[in-house]
Amino acid sequence: MKEGPDIAQIGALIGDPARANMLTALMGGKALTATELAAAGGITVQTASTHLAKLEAGNLLAQRKQGRHRYFTLADDSVGKFLESIMGFAAGRGYLRHKTGPKEPALRKARICYDHLAGDYGVRMLDSLIARGAIDEIGDSLVLTKSGETALKDIGIDVHTLKSSRRPLCRSCLDWSERRAHLAGSLGKALLSNFLDKGWAHRTPESRCVVFSPEGERQFLMLFPAIK
């Protein structure tokens, strides 16, 4: 087919193992240097620079300079959504990495997906919000209800400011480990930031894991009860 979107180009960009590993590292939401991304890709800095240039030209990455340093991030949240959906597809077809370790259960429980909460806790949060009528599912879309606005304001989420953003307020994102949806969009980001600011949870260095404190876990499970 000579017309329409060229998925071959996207496939070629993410199909290289080193580039795939660098993109996955950026799913943690942090800006990383070429040296840090080279380590994630298992390649030299010189080779990483070539790969990063290709990813940036393909509009998958963005870079910013701070002093003499250059930092790379995913181009936008749509790239994060795309990568998470591919991870879910790969997991569903049995294409899994076989290296196991202590991080794996923690990643499945709660992790960063670009800038929002994913894993078992991310799915639980969205399920709970839908079950109590805070969010409505309309086809493939998620819509925050009036009662949901009130409930979120009560826990310190500035919904009015979020609505003024050009970014979607609520968005469904396929979770690669749970193979169900978790909450993305500006609301998903705001909720995760809220948990981190309150000290309920913290980021694990050099990992996408989100670790809840005992009190933070208690508060989270009370706020988002399991759906029976």
Its pTM stands at 0.77
Phi, psi dihedrals of residue 175, rounded to the nearest 5°:
-85, 125
CA distances 12 to 8, 17, 19, Å, are 6, 10, 10
From first to last of its 228 residues, what are the pLDDT tens digits of the chain? 567 788 899 999 999 999 999 999 998 888 999 999 999 999 999 999 999 999 999 999 999 888 888 899 999 888 988 898 888 788 778 877 655 455 678 889 999 988 999 999 999 999 999 999 999 999 889 999 999 999 999 999 999 999 998 889 999 988 888 888 999 999 999 999 999 999 999 998 878 899 999 999 999 999 999 876
